Amino acid sequence: MKKRRKPLPTVGNPNDPDGLLVWSRRYVEHQRIRNYSEQTIRLTEIGLRMFIGWAADRSLERPTQITRPILEAYQRWLFYRRKPSGRPIAFSSQRLTLQKLKGFFRFLARQNAILWNPASDLELPKIEKKLPKAVLTEKEVELVLGLPDVTDATELRDRAMMEVLYSTGIRRHELAGLRIEDIDHERETVFIRLGKGKKDRIVPIGERALHWVGRYVEEARPLLLVPPDEGHLWISELGGAISLDWYTRRMAAYVDRAGLGKSGACHIFRHSMATQMLEAGCDIRHLQELLGHAETSTTAIYTRVSVGRLKAVHGQFHPAARLASKPKTTTTPKSEPTPEDLLAALEAESEEDDG
């Protein structure tokens, strides 16, 4: 069975129908009714819980008590807050938390729970267009991929996971959601169910990754599975589906074991795949489609291309697309988005993706 997430601790007054906590629960219900993704809802709950706890420490328990100066004070608190490691909260995380808060107060205003929206003019922190901190070279990726002992069922599974991440560039939750029937060996594609924005898509996958997935399904998965078989592609040591946090811990452990002086988890394979394909001359618009980006941080250009064309692009530019390396030809990209735009967008999503 799939591991259930622990419920978030209660903060605020659950018995006050006009309190922040009760209104936050109504807001979450509002999102569920409108078919928001569970990931979005979870991030909303976490963001609101943090604010409600901060407000309760200052005897602020109702929406009507919250003003713009109070929200600005909370924003300053987020800026100066430190994680247990002593590191500050990333600006991307600060911005996401404040966006959830703005959505909450917009909802309160529409429900006439407050006379005006104190968060309407709250200025969000700017996100720097910085390149990824940790990107692996082709040689470094191969080193990480070679670490698992493929004679062991669990490590054969891990090798297949990493090959899929590197070949397709899919996100952590997309990897976790894969089912056996989503891998099409004949067409060399992967069907992504309800990716980011609750959108389905089909992405190419290389021969080498398919080889390792095939080995895993034939040799390791039957040893790991505890009936009944619910169809999940990846099976844990306990015989069922795997939690999202596990993927981050497991992939990060392999990157650390490689001793490259770089850190990362699932998203580092996405970063590395995108960077290497860009360096090989892949058209930025095709790469956007492969990665499931409707837009980059500064570019709203989105070109629909066929899966067949994407497979051709993937095979031409991905260094591990085929079992046997073939000479690659390069072309000059002729597209309006820039590589910096795409890589900055990847960096902005990395913290959310790896949890």
- State the catalytic residue, choosing from 196, 232, 311, 318: 196
Q: Is 171 among the catalytic positions?
A: yes
DSSP H or E segment with residue 176: helix 172-176
DSSP of 183-206: EETTTTEEEESS-TTS--EEEE--
CA nearest 153: which of 91, 218, 59, 207?
Answer: 218
Residues in a beta bridge with 190: 183, 203
- State the catalytic residue, choosing from 102, 171, 201, 311: 171
Instruction: Map residue 235 onto helix, strand or coil.
Output: coil
- What's the full length of the chain, in residues? 355
Q: Is 267 among the catalytic positions?
A: yes
- State the catalytic residue, choosing from 102, 157, 173, 267: 267
Q: Is 314 among the catalytic positions?
A: no
- State the catalytic residue, choosing from 5, 130, 199, 302: 302
Contact 282, 328 (CB under 8 A): no
DSSP H or E segment with residue 266: helix 266-279
- State the catalytic residue, choosing from 270, 271, 311, 314: 270
- State the catalytic residue, choosing from 293, 311, 314, 318: 293
DSSP of 15-72: T-TTSHHHHHHHHHHHHHHTT--HHHHHHHHHHHHHHHHHHHTTT--SGGG--HHHHH
Q: Is 293 among the catalytic positions?
A: yes
- Enumerate the active-site residues: 171, 196, 267, 270, 293, 302
